[in-house]
Structures are given as structure tokens and as C-alpha cells.
Structure 1
């Protein structure tokens, strides 16, 4: 049974039992605790936490998931994967344990002819929580499982929570016995290789408290939940292994095609060599994950999600190179993933041109980085040997990993090739420190779930904050909650930094690329300055403020006032972003998808996925198109509608955003229509002017445009005009003639520099005879090895070396010249060997390694000439001596 059929049967089974079918959420939901969606229940988390009411009593989904904690282990085993699909059914206060068990049992044991999976009931085992007698009884009642196939486990295995205060409860896991060939008898308690887990049913029935220790089970259970919920997750890939009769996920129908392509490209076979098998599995796993991440709007970068994607793609490239493939490969693998996965995720087809472009651009960038990183590695290896060690420091391995994206296995392989080991423990310590800092940063984020228990209590007690900021910039508000350093307090005095939860607010909370409003809160004898506003939990606004005067307390009534001029400037920027987005799509098509934005007073930043090189003339046309449209004085309209209706109207939805059934659409005539929760101008004429001031690439396949709006744009244009006037005055030409005049001046300067360079070369070459005259005899070979005056550039040094070699027409010679740059402390060297010396076994390229390490460098070349550089001018004398010793040895043995 193909994987798509497994998914279809799951969805149809639960659709027929009254479940609402919910599409998979994006892999990059706005959850500060998660880098990527890693479980089927993530998109339903607000319903389980009680932050918002569930729109349906029961639901089902096939959720795409990514877990990245074990990236370095992927490929080494057949168990580790980064991408997987989780099929789930969910009940929000509807059915409970019996219903969950019935639904699961019916699907997995019903015959395939009747729409089930047809698994043999006698080979199914389950585990339940230690004291969950009810679940054990129901498995016997509903499924007829005998007691010996119902095993019990403790909290670490069969009790679930979100690791923060909130819903929790026992779970029951379903296992399938693959038979004696896979291990020992005795159920999952004895052998989980033979008994493979396929489904986990979580019974949310309790409320957990704060953690009491570092362990997974170190928390107290406070009591029953007001409503009992169900959260289940079936591993689609694991079920596919069983139904397709294969050993592991890498042999299933959606993964094996990638390995087949890798076999075709490399000429090697999966299963023939254990080392190659690791590389095949890395390619297969990471290719799927990479394509799905790019599809959901992630682009390679050096930060957070983009950094993970970059690591995955680079590991693919490195693995294929180790398989002997040196041509570009990411595009080939992307096509295979698209063809395999598109039946379940059709967006892979519609967005493929963009996906393919991003992946190919990243591969091109990595190949350049690989070259640069290899040089850094070679220098580190040289330094290690010079220090008398055979172990590369962990700090160097970490630098290669953190700066150049080298996986540790790449560094280990390169080190082994040079006879070195790597301080892996030192590397791991630095990685652990980096993860620790990352976790601290995550905890310090503005709305981390670990710190939201107080907010959720306020939400439960008072309901949501009413946002009136679309229409009003002032409001009478009441303080519902007051926090200092995350802890609730009854009051706070002058100078205090506080967070206020208000019953209603005109302040816009940061989101959708728009920064938060600022302003003031004023009441009887008290005044506060609002510096930031965040959504603490869905529906609840946290106002960060400083008490300027007096004392504020819970229930204090305040006049909330937004900084009007600042809000209007931000609104102009946000509206300008929509227009620039429309113009970019007009120029480059739908492939130019928004990849981020920032709207601040008078200035906007817009990132988009660039399908190819972005040309200056096209971006100039974007600016002209936007400003031409501004002349129409089109009214900006915002309205709420259903998601389906918005899509029918052609509204643009952004990658990575989660939308509900009801969405807010912002129209600017027929030119721009986007889903957006931000604030905007009433008419586009209020923007005045939009001036693009920056246009650059900010990552693989991502382009950034920055623009000024309104008076900020006018001031910029005025300054540019003044600058042009100054130049026309200085050059005594009209403004339109400035480019030609400046180009002419630059051309003359370049010509003058070339003439000076030619004079310098001629001057240097005059010393060739003198240098040749100072040659020394080394067993019948003339050696010229000297440092020439500082500042001789590489081209001149090469020309001089060749000229000196030419002075030895009938005698074997080796010429090695060194030049140091006093400003940069860099060393350049060139080695030349004539034909007579080559006949005696000498080759320029082979001589370089004998001395290059003394100048802290490396180099190479052919038999007649080689060159390179280093970073230690003080080592030139030692390098000359080393070269002479090498020459003596080679000639003597030759």
C-alpha cells in the first residue's frame, strides 16, 4: 500500500466518523518554543491550552513534521529522520478513551477491502500507564486484547505533557509484532526493534503543575481538567514500512526514489558499502526535509530556521561529493522529492520553480564556501602539526561548523585524510554552550510558553483584550493584570518597568512585520510610557511600560493614547510594503514570494524570494510603478471574510502564517490584495512618495529592498538633489552629463594605475639578472630562493620569477621568490622550475608543501610553476632553508 493511500484511508476513516479534516499546518508556525512543527497536535495547541475555543468538537489531520535534535545522527542508523508525517485524530471535550481506542482499532485491523490497513489483530500489543486500569480494561473490551499483550509503563514512557503547566495525562501506545526474525519475544517491554510502535493515544485528563526537577516526570498532577481531550499521533512512515513489507523508512515508496537517484548519479549501490549507505541515507532524509522547508518559506541563512536548512542542504552536497559526484545535485533531488510527495502536498508542484531556485543557489554558494572553508581547515591543520600535535582543537572544528557550515563529520573526514584526529569533546562542549545560549535566548523571547501561565490565568478570568486600534487611537481602559519581571504584583510605583494587561486597547501589538505602537497611559495621579506591546498569548495584549509618575495598580482606570504621528508613519510604511510586494510580483511573477518584512516609522524593509538575479533596472521599474499607482488616490479597504472567499478573490497569503477560517483582507484597489492584520492608511495618496534606497541580496535566493516613505522619502530625495548640485558645480557640467564625466575620470585613473603598474613591473624585472647571479648550486641544480622587496604584487612576482628562470637556458634551475606585504602581513610566493630541472624529478607544485607551512600558508600548481600565500612573513628565512633541504633530498634520490 502506497503512502498516499495510507494517508487517504486515515483521513476518510475519521471523516466518516464525524471529524473535521484540517489541512497540515506550515512547518514554521509562530510558536516561540518550536523551531519547526514537530508533532500533529501543535496547530491545535491553543485549543488544548484553553487560549481560544475549538471551532469543532473533533478533528483529523496529516501533519508534516520536522525534528532536528539528531541531525548529526541521521544516516548512521535507519531510525533517525528529520522529516516525517504524523496522522492524528483529536477530540476537544467530545469522545474520550473508549472512542479513541475504538477509532484506532477499527482502522488498523479492518480489512484493506473495507478501507482499513488489514494488520493482524493477534500481532498487536499495547502499553498503558501504570495505574490506568480504565485504558487496560477498554483494550480488552473494545479490541479483545488479552492481559499479556497489555503492558504497563511509568511516566517517562506513558504519561504526556507539554513540559509546562497545562494539560497532561496518561497515554497508550500501539505496537506491532514484526516476528521472531526481528528480536526477542515478550512485547515492547523486552524488544522495541521487534515490536514497533505505530500509534500513540494521549488521554488529556489532568492539569500539571510546575516542574519540580530536571526529569521528564518531575512535576505534580494538580487534578482533573474541566474537559477531557484526545490527541493521537500515528507514524505514517512506520505504518508504511509494515504495509510495504520493507525494513525501514529509507526503503518506503516516498524515500527510496531519492536513494535511486543518488545511485544513478554516483554509479554506486545502496547496501554495498556501510559508509556509502550512511551517505545515501543522509541524502534521502535531508532532501525531503529541505524541499518541504523551502516550500513553507524557509530560506538558507546563518540564523535559526535558515541555519538548519543550510546545514541540511550542505550535508547533502558533501555526501554526494563523498560518493564521487562533483556536479550540482540539489536540483535533481528536489525533482524526485516533488514527484514523490506532490500527491499529498500539491504546493510542491505549484511552487517548484521557487524551491528549485533556492536550492540551486544554495548549492552554488556552498561550493564557494567549501573552497574557502577548506583553506581555513588546511591552515588549522598546519598550525596543529607545527605545534607538535596530531589533534585538531575543538575550537577550530566549531569555527568550521559555526562559520562555514561544515558538519562535524566533514571536519573529521578531512582531518583523517591528513592523519589528524579532532578534539570531539571540545567541539561538543562548545556546541552545548551554544545550545545553552540559544535556550536562554528562547526563554527570553517575548512570549515563551514557559512563562505564560500567569497570562493564561488572566485570560481564563477576564477573557481577551479588545483591540480597537483599527479605528481608534485613544481608549478608556482598565488594568486587568500587572506584572513585574514576569510575576504578578498588585501595584508598581514610579520608575518601575511593568507589563500591563488591559481590558481594551488601541495599541497595535507587534506582528506581521509591523512593529508595536508606543504611547502613554494616563490616570489619576499616574502616568506611564508604553515602549512595546506583544501578544502574550493569543487574544491577550501585554503592554510593556515604564511608570513615569505616581503608582499604577490592578483595576486602575487609564486613558490609553497611541503616539499618533508614529502610528501614521508606520501605517504608511506597511501600506507601501503591500504595494512594493505587488510590483515585485508584477515584475517577477508568483515565484517572488514575500520572505519577511519590517514596517517602522517612515521606513520599510521587504524580503522576497528571487527566482534569478535581480537587476537594478527592474527594481527601478518597481519604484516607478508604485509611485505611478500612488497618483490614483485609491481608497484602502480592510474587511473580514472566510479563507475560502479570500482565496477566490485572489488574496495573497504569506508563507509560514497560520490563518483561521475567518481572515482579514486589505485591498488597495485591484492592484494589491493581501491577508493582513496590520494597520494601514485610509488612502494610498497619504503615502506621498516611496523611494527605494537599498537593494541587495541577503541570503541564498532571497533579495531585500528597503524604502523610505512620505516625508522621510522627501528628505532623502532632497539630500540626493543637493549632492547632485554640488557635483555639477564641482565638475562644471549639467546633471545629466555627470555619469559620463565621472566615468571618464575613473577611466583615466585606471589607465594611470595601469601605467604605474607597468613601470613597477619593468623596474622589478630589471633585478632578474642580479637575482640569477646570486644562485647557489645544489647538487648540480641552480637554486634562487630569496625575498624580494616588500610590496611586489602577485602578478609582478610571477613575471619576475619567470624572468629569472629564463636566465638559466642550459642548466637545471629552481627559482622561488617571496614577497611580504607590510600592511596586511601577508606573504606571496612563486616557484618556477625549468625543463632541465623537471627532467631530474623536480616539480614546482610538489616543492611547495615542503616550505609553505613555515609562512603559515599553502599553495600549489603545475610542474613548471606554482604559487601560493601565507600569513607569517617572519617565516620566509625558514621557508628558504626548508626548500633547500627538500631540493637536496629530491636531487640526491633522483
Structure 2
């Protein structure tokens, strides 16, 4: 049974039993504490905790998940994968234990011919929480399971909670017996390799507190509503139904494994280490494909770092299979073909995904060779020194300069029989992050613990009126001071204010929040930030400027009209630049992120080449032509499927609801899904002035632009600069480039003459310096301070010229000069002097020590420097002392 068919049967089964079918949430989680959706329940947490009212009493879904905490086990076991899919059915105060058990048993054991999954009852075991007599009795009643196939386990295995105070409850897990070939008999309590968990039914019925660990918490009472949260591992069910050994061999994963086998010429099943590598490749390529289809791009931070690590581990595994060249073109195509039936968006966005993957592969293959050489040399030196641990600074160099994830260095060092000084590496990384953040100041205030918003959200969604109104009369639903609910906030305090309605735009879709105020009878609040802490709720971070505001008070939101005008210009300008980019570069130049505020826009897009000045000008001209043409801007709300049929562009990886807002500029010329605020016609944007274009990754670039009045001001400043230059240089604006070019050429010619003069002046000093040679010990010594010079090269040339002037005799030339306000010393020795024991390197080091610095070099020519100019005579005397011994 194909994986997509298992999903279809699951959803059909629950749809026929009154469940709302919910599409998978993106892999990028809305939860600010999570990088990814790590479990099927993550998108439903607001409903399970009561923070947001559930929009349906029962639901079912197939949720995409990414979990990388067990990445080292990938390829080694039958069930560890970074990307996996959870089949779930959910009840929010509707059915409970009996219903969940009935549904699970019916779906699992019903014949395939009637839409079930066709598991034999004799192969299924269950576990329940040790004190859950009700669940044990229901399994006997509904499934007819004998008591010995219902095992009771403790909190570690059969009690679920989030790890935080809140809902929890016992759970019941269903296991499949793979048979005696895979381990001991006796059920899941004895051997969880033979007995594979396929489904977990969580009976969420209790409120817990004082949580310190998985097993250490207090049950403080029952939940007002009992919920059901189940999760069935799609990959686990698939490998059992398809009769293969592990999840890497199912229909959605095996094609990548087979392609890796073909490219490497290694047969899968022939050698254990090669098998592990092929399974790693198959898993990581699929995981990377799905992450990029949800908008994640490779980078050195956060989600992008996880993706980069997966991609680079895949490349590394292919190299260990003997393939040094690029392979992602073939591997990703194989994964796309395997996944597109279940996830058509993978196919629709594949051009962008492949561009990202190939760009990352090209970059890493270039750096891998150099980094591997560095590592190999470090390994040899470490072993030669008799140490078993690679230095932390070497690991940091590989990460910082060559882009090696530390995990890759750990793996490669381990293959060579070495550990890595991880503590030293972590310290260097911490220092680097501290330096990077030293000058960064966040404008954001930390929002309160999300659980405090539940009471406010239960009163309904915040109504946003700002598309049409800049002021709105409303009432204060709640106040938070330092993250805790409060009845009032007084002058001087900073607080969060929850309103029933608001005209102030909350940051989203790349648009910065509105600026403005909230006013009422006897109080005035300055708006510092506007955010959406939970779905459907808007929170205003404010400073109480005057008076006192309390819960239940009437209030009016007032948007700063000038700021909003600039923000709408910038957001509409972003759409114009995006359309122009795609017109010039083609459909692969897909927006991957944006930020806009009054007067400024930034747009990231998929591309791997620097824009030429001509291309940049063309994009800017197309954008401004659209402004000149005064295109109508129309916003409409419609079902998501209808919007896609119209060709509306979606931000890559963004999450959208069933009803979306479509923004047209000039009809289909620019048609995007967008919840931001916009102008009425393109002419209101005013002007686009592209001020920068740069790289933000192997296959991503960024364009920045000033918009509206800010764009005009930049042009005005540049015009003033041109006017000043034309006046100073006494030329016309159209001749300015030629005039400046002539000046530059003249300056270069003058510099050459000066250099020639200085060189002649230096050569003229050679005879006098040579004439000052005096015998010290066995050599002739020239030890002189020559004053201020332009560079160290000048002093070096002078020293070698004096040495040549002295001929074949045993001679040492030790010269000092002041270069850039600091003392510099050069020592040159002749062959005969070196035969007599004079060494330029040691002499330069001695002089530098006197000067308060360091130095050294080769026996024939060396240099040193310091900070103390007054010590020059002592440094020269030190040379005389060394040679006179």
C-alpha cells in the first residue's frame, strides 16, 4: 500500500465520521519557542490549551514534521527520520477515550477492501498508563484484546504533557509485532524493536503544575474540557504495509536511496557502512526538499543552519561513497517525483527549490576540498603530538571560514580516531555571537507568556479596521504589565493593551507595525509596537504618556497618518519591484522574504548572480514606469484555491488560511496574496530608488530601495553633490565623469613621479650609509636611524641596497625608521656575515623587543616593529651588543 494511499484512507475514514479535514501546517512553526513543527500536535496547541477557541469539535490531518534531535541515529535504525508525517485525529471536548479507541481499532483492523488498513488483530498490542483502568477495560471491550496484550507502563512511556504547566493526561499506544526475527517475545515492555509503536492516543483530561521533568509534576485537577490528541506515524505504517525493513525503503524515500546507489556504483545491501550513508542521503534530501518547499533557505543561523547541515551531511555522505562531483540535480529530482503526489506544491515550486539546492552544493563542494585539507593537516599534527583531541580553534576555523557545521567536524574527526575540544569551540562561538550582538538593539519588547492571552482570545478575534479607517473607537479588553494581567496602567509604565477593535496594523507579512497613539478620557498612550501573539489577537505595546488606563475603559486608536502613508507606499513598492524582478529575470526570481516600513523596502529573492548595473537600472525603470502609469490597486478576499487559479503569487513558505486577501496592481501585472496595507493607485508610491543589491546566501539575493519622499530626498542629496562638484571643478554636469577621470589620471601620474623621486632620494642615501659601516666583531655593521618613511617597503629597499653596496664582505645592515608614527626595524645580512654567525631573524627579534613589539624573519632579511619611537637608539645599540659578543 503506497504511502499516499495510507494518508487518503486515513482522512477519508475520519471525514466520514464527522471530522473536519485540516491541511498540514508548514514545517516552520508559529510557536516562537520552536524552530520547526516537531510533532503533529504543535499546530493544535492553542486549541488544546484553550488559548484559542477550537473552530471545530473534531478534526483530522496529516501533519508534516521535522525533528533533528536524533540526527546521529538517522540511517542506523529502522524508524529515525528527520522529516516524518503524523496522521492525527482530534477531539476538542467532543468524544473521548471510548470514541478514540473505537476509531483506531476500526481503521487499523478493517479489511483493505472496505477502506481500512487491514492489520491482523493478532499482531497488535497496546500499552496504557499504569493506573488507567478505564482504558484497559475499553480495549478489552472494544477490541477483545486479552489482558496479556494490554501492558501497563509508567509516566515515562504513557503519560503526555507539554513540559509546561497546563493540560496533560494518560495515553495509550498501539504496537505492531514484527515477529521473532526482530527480537524477543513479551510485548513492547520487553522489546521496542520487535514491537514497533504505530499510534499514540492521548487522553487529555488533567491540569498539571510544578512540572520539573517528564515524570515529576503535580496533577491539580480535571480539565474543563477533555480532549483527544492522537498521532500515527505514517512512515512506520508504510514500511510495515509495504513489507520493507525500514522507513528508508518506503515508496517516498527509496527512489533517492536507489539514485545514490546508481551514482556511486555501490550496491545497497552489500556493506553496512555504505547502507547507512545511502539512508542518510535519502532521508536528508527528502527533509531538505520539504523544508525548502516551506520557504526555509540555507544560512548560518536558526532554521537555515539546520537545513544547511542536512544538505552538507548529504554531500559528505556522497563523498564517502566515492562521488566527489555534484549530485543534487539527480537526487532532488528523484525526491520530488516521489513526494509530489502527496504534496503537489513540491512540484509547483521545484525550480526555486532546485536553484537553492544546487547553489548550496556548488558552494560547499568548493569549500569542502580546502576545509578537508585543513582538517587532515590538523589531524596529522594532533596525532604526531600524541594528543587525542583536535583543538577547538581548528574546529572554529573550519566553521567560520569554510562553513563546516561543527557536527561535520565531529564526524570527520571521529573517523580519524580523534575527539574535538568542544568546550573551546563553544567558547569561541559564544565570543563571536557576543561581538556580533554588541551593537544590536532590539526594538521589540518580549511578549508575555502566551497562556495569558487565552482569556482575551476567548472573547473573539480582534477586529482590524485599519484598511479603511485611521481612527477607531473601541474598548480595553485587557492590560498586561510585565507579562501579568493587570487592572490598570499608570503614567510612566510600559504595558500591553488588548482592544476589541483597532486601526493600528500589527507587524506581519514583512510590514512593520503602525506608529500612533491610543487615547481616551484622561489618558494618552504612545504605541511602541503592535503584534499578533496568538492567532486572531492583536496586542499593543504602549507607554502611558499621561493619565491612567483601565480594563473596560473606552479608547480610540489613532494611526500616524504620515507613517501609514509611507508604509503603504513601501509595501506596494515591494510588489512593484517583485513584479519587475520577475519580468527581467524570469519566474525563478521568486520572493523569499521582505521587510518594509515608511520610506524603505527590502526584498529577498531566489537568484545566484550579482545584478549588473544595467539590469539593476532596468528593474528600477520598470518599477517607476508602473508608478507613472497610475495602475489601479484592487484588494479582494476570496477562497485560497480561487486565488491560486487566478495566478496570485504566494510568499514562498507562508501560511495562508482558507480565505485570503489578493492584491492586484494593474490587474494581473502584479497579483499577490497579501494582508498588508496598500495605496489606491500605483502613482501614490511616488518613486522607487534602488540603493543596494547584495547576496544573502548561495542562491538568495537582496534588493533594497528607498520609496516615496525618502527616494526623492536621496536623489536631491545626490543632485546637490553633483552641483557642488561641478562648481568646484568648473565643469558642466554632463562632463563631470570625464573631468574626474582626467583628474584621477593626473593624480596617478603625479604619484608615479613622486614615487620615482622618493626612490631616487633613497638611492642617493645609500653611499653615505655604506660609508658609515664600522667593524663590530667579525662583521661590518651599518646601524642607523633614517627618519620618517612612507612605508616598510621603502626601508626594506634601502637596507638591501646598502648591503649590496658593501659587496662580498661580511656585513650586517640594521636600519630603523618611523612609519605611520611607529618604529620599524629591518636587518639584512650578507652570506659571509651569516657564515660568521649573524642571523637577521634573531637580530630583528632582539630589536623589536626593545621597541616594545615583536619581529623575526629569515636569516638573510627580517623585520620587526614596536610602539616606542624613543627606544630606537637603544634598539640599534642592542644590535651592536649582540654582534660584539
Report if TM-score (shorter chain) is over 0.5.
yes
| CA gap 1:118/1:417 in 2 versus in 1, 3 angstroms | closer
Q: How does 1:146-545 map to 2 (within 5 A)?
A: 146-206=146-206, 208-210=207-209, 212-371=210-369, 373-374=371-372, 377=375, 391-394=389-392, 396-398=394-396, 400-401=398-399, 404-408=402-406, 410-412=408-410, 415=413, 421-424=419-422, 451-460=449-458, 462-545=459-542
Match of 1:874 among 856, 859, 881: 856
1:740: how far off?
A: 5.7
Cα shift readout 1:265-313 (whole Å, capped 9, x = no counterpart): 2223334444433332321211111111111111111221111111111
Give 3-state SS (helix, strand or coil) of 1:344's partner: coil
Equivalent pair of 2:471/2:559 in contact (CA under 8 Å): yes
Cα shift readout 1:703-745 (whole Å, capped 9, x = no counterpart): 1111111110101111222333344455665544555666677
1:9: how far off?
A: 2.5
Give distance in 2, aligned partners of 1:684 and 1:752. 52
Give distance in 1, aligned partners of 2:28 and 2:411. 33
| CA gap 1:300/1:473 in 2 versus in 1, 3 angstroms | same
| CA gap 1:360/1:730 in 2 versus in 1, 3 angstroms | farther
Give distance in 2, aligned partners of 1:659 and 1:43. 13
| CA gap 1:682/1:129 in 2 versus in 1, 3 angstroms | same
1:361: how far off?
A: 0.7
1:78: how far off?
A: 4.3
1:654 — aligned with what? 651
Q: Say whether residues 1:580 and 2:586 are aligned partners.
A: no
1:396: how far off?
A: 4.1
1:87 — aligned with what? 87
Q: Say whether residues 1:67 and 2:67 are aligned partners.
A: yes
1:608 — aligned with what? 605
| CA gap 1:571/1:370 in 2 versus in 1, 3 angstroms | same
Cα shift readout 1:311-352 (whole Å, capped 9, x = no counterpart): 111111222222221111222211111121112112222222
1:136: how far off?
A: 1.6
Give 3-state SS (helix, strand or coil) of 1:540's partner: coil
TM-score (normalised: structure 2): 0.80
TM-score (normalised: structure 1): 0.79
Give distance in 2, aligned partners of 1:265 and 1:759. 65
1:782 — aligned with what? none
Give 3-state SS (helix, strand or coil) of 2:507's partner: coil
Q: Say whether residues 1:552 and 2:549 are aligned partners.
A: yes
1:66: how far off?
A: 0.7
| CA gap 1:297/1:416 in 2 versus in 1, 3 angstroms | closer
Give distance in 1, aligned partners of 2:380 and 2:443. 42
Give distance in 2, aligned partners of 1:42 and 1:620. 45
1:150: how far off?
A: 0.9
Give 3-state SS (helix, strand or coil) of 1:463's partner: coil
2:811 — aligned with what? none
Give 3-state SS (helix, strand or coil) of 1:715's partner: helix
| CA gap 1:54/1:463 in 2 versus in 1, 3 angstroms | closer
Unaligned runs of 5+ in 1: 439-443, 765-788, 801-821, 826-871, 881-894
Equivalent pair of 1:693/1:708 in contact (CA under 8 Å): yes
Equivalent pair of 2:608/2:698 in contact (CA under 8 Å): no
1:187: how far off?
A: 0.8
Q: Say whether residues 1:111 and 2:93 are aligned partners.
A: no
Give distance in 2, aligned partners of 1:738 and 1:549. 56
1:140: how far off?
A: 1.5
Match of 1:593 among 590, 594, 600: 590
Equivalent pair of 2:294/2:654 in contact (CA under 8 Å): no
Of the two structures, which has the highest relative contact order with CA contacts closer than 8 Å and spacing of 6 or more?
1
| CA gap 1:716/1:157 in 2 versus in 1, 3 angstroms | same
1:404: how far off?
A: 4.2
Bigger Rg, structure 1 or 2: 2
Unaligned runs of 5+ in 2: 437-441, 764-789, 801-818, 824-853, 863-885
1:171: how far off?
A: 1.6
Give distance in 2, aligned partners of 1:589 and 1:467. 36
| CA gap 1:259/1:761 in 2 versus in 1, 3 angstroms | farther
Give distance in 1, aligned partners of 2:306 and 2:453. 31
Give distance in 1, aligned partners of 2:752 and 2:281. 50
Question: Aligned residue pairs: how many?
Answer: 784
Q: Say whether residues 1:712 and 2:696 are aligned partners.
A: no
1:513: how far off?
A: 0.7
Give 3-state SS (helix, strand or coil) of 1:253's partner: coil
| CA gap 1:121/1:414 in 2 versus in 1, 3 angstroms | closer
Give 3-state SS (helix, strand or coil) of 1:539's partner: coil
| CA gap 1:554/1:53 in 2 versus in 1, 3 angstroms | closer
Equivalent pair of 1:447/1:534 in contact (CA under 8 Å): no
1:23: how far off?
A: 2.7
Give distance in 2, aligned partners of 1:318 and 1:292. 20
Equivalent pair of 1:592/1:611 in contact (CA under 8 Å): no
Give distance in 2, aligned partners of 1:148 and 1:648. 56
| CA gap 1:237/1:504 in 2 versus in 1, 3 angstroms | same
Give distance in 1, aligned partners of 2:758 and 2:384. 36
Give 3-state SS (helix, strand or coil) of 2:856's partner: helix
Give 3-state SS (helix, strand or coil) of 2:533's partner: strand
Give distance in 2, aligned partners of 1:377 and 1:874. 28
